[in-house]
Structure 1
Amino acid sequence: MHARRQLAALALLAGLVAVPALAATDTQAPTPTRAELLAKSTAAEWRTPDPHNLLVMQLPSGRVLIELASDFTPLHAANIRTLVREHYFDGLSINRVQDNFVTQWDDPESTRDHPDPAKLKSLGTAKKALPPEYTHAINGKLPWTPLSDGDVYAPQVGFVEGFPAARDPATGREWLTHCYGMVGVARDIAPDSGNGSSLYAVIGQSPRRLDRNLAIAGRVLVGMPLLSALPRGAGPMGFYDKPSQRTPIQSVRLASELPPAQRPAVQVLRTDSATFAALLDAQRHRRDAFYQVSSGKVGLCSVEVPVREMTPTD
Structure 2
Amino acid sequence: MRLIQFSACAVLVLAACTQNATKPAPVSAAKAAVLNNVSEVLAQTRPADWREPAPDNLLVMQLATGSVVMELAPQFAPHHADNIRALAHEHYYDGLSILRVQENYVVQWGDPDEKREIKSAQRTIAGEFWRPTTGLNFTPLADGDVYAPEVGYSDGFAAARDPKRGEAWLAHCYGALGVGRGMGADSGGGPELYVVIGHSPRHLDRNITVAGRVLQGMEHLTVLPRGTGALGFYEKPEQYVTIRSLQVASDMPAAQRPQLQVLRTDTASWDAYVDVRRNRRDSWFLDPVGHVELCNVGVPVRTKPG
Deviations 1:191-248 (A, max 9, x none): 0000101000000000000000000011000001111111100000000011121110
Aligned to 1:309: 303
Q: 2:49 aligns with which of 33, 45, 49?
A: 45
Distance in 1 of aligned mates of 2:192 and 2:258: 24
Distance in 1 of aligned mates of 2:37 and 2:294: 19
Distance in 2 of aligned mates of 1:101 and 1:220: 15
Deviation at 1:128, TM superposition (A): 2.2
Deviation at 1:31, TM superposition (A): 4.8
CA contact (8 A) 1:31 1:286 kept: no
Q: 2:123 aligns with which of 112, 124, 128?
A: 128
Q: 2:221 aligns with which of 201, 223, 227?
A: 227
Deviation at 1:139, TM superposition (A): 3.1
CA contact (8 A) 2:124 2:190 kept: no
Distance in 1 of aligned mates of 2:91 and 2:283: 52
Distance in 2 of aligned mates of 1:179 and 1:257: 28
TM-score, normalised by the number of residues in structure 1: 0.85
Distance in 2 of aligned mates of 1:148 and 1:32: 20
Aligned to 2:99: 95
Q: Which moved more, 1:101-110 or 1:196-205?
A: 101-110
Deviations 1:235-264 (A, max 9, x none): 000000111211100011111111111111
Deviation at 1:162, TM superposition (A): 0.8
CA contact (8 A) 1:30 1:288 kept: no
**TM-aligned CA distance change 1:221 to 1:288, over 3 Å:** closer
User: Structure 2 matches for 1:180-191, cutoff 5 A?
Assistant: 180-191=174-185
CA contact (8 A) 1:147 1:300 kept: yes
Aligned to 1:247: 241
SS, match of residue 121 in structure 1: coil
**Higher share in helix:** 1
Deviation at 1:287, TM superposition (A): 2.1
CA contact (8 A) 1:107 1:198 kept: yes
Find the structure with the greater CA-based Rg: 1
Q: 1:268 aligns with which of 262, 268, 286?
A: 262
Matched, 1:32 2:36: yes
CA contact (8 A) 1:185 1:198 kept: yes
SS, match of residue 113 in structure 2: helix
Deviations 1:39-70 (A, max 9, x none): 11100000000111101111110011010010
Identify unmatched segments of 5+ residues in structure 2.
1-32
- Greater relative contact order, per chain length (Cα 8 Å cut-off, separation 6+): 2
Deviation at 1:169, TM superposition (A): 0.6
Letter in 2 for 1:86: E
Distance in 1 of aligned mates of 2:112 and 2:219: 22
Letter in 2 for 1:38: L
Cα RMSD for the two superposed structures: 1.2
Aligned to 2:78: 74
Letter in 1 for 2:124: A
Letter in 1 for 2:54: D
Deviation at 1:143, TM superposition (A): 2.4
SS, match of residue 81 in structure 1: helix
CA contact (8 A) 2:178 2:210 kept: yes
Aligned residues: 274
Distance in 1 of aligned mates of 2:85 and 2:134: 23
Deviation at 1:289, TM superposition (A): 2.3
CA contact (8 A) 2:134 2:166 kept: no
CA contact (8 A) 2:37 2:282 kept: no
Deviation at 1:35, TM superposition (A): 1.4
Aligned to 1:17: none
Distance in 1 of aligned mates of 2:222 and 2:140: 28
Letter in 2 for 1:121: R
Aligned to 2:8: none
CA contact (8 A) 2:37 2:281 kept: no
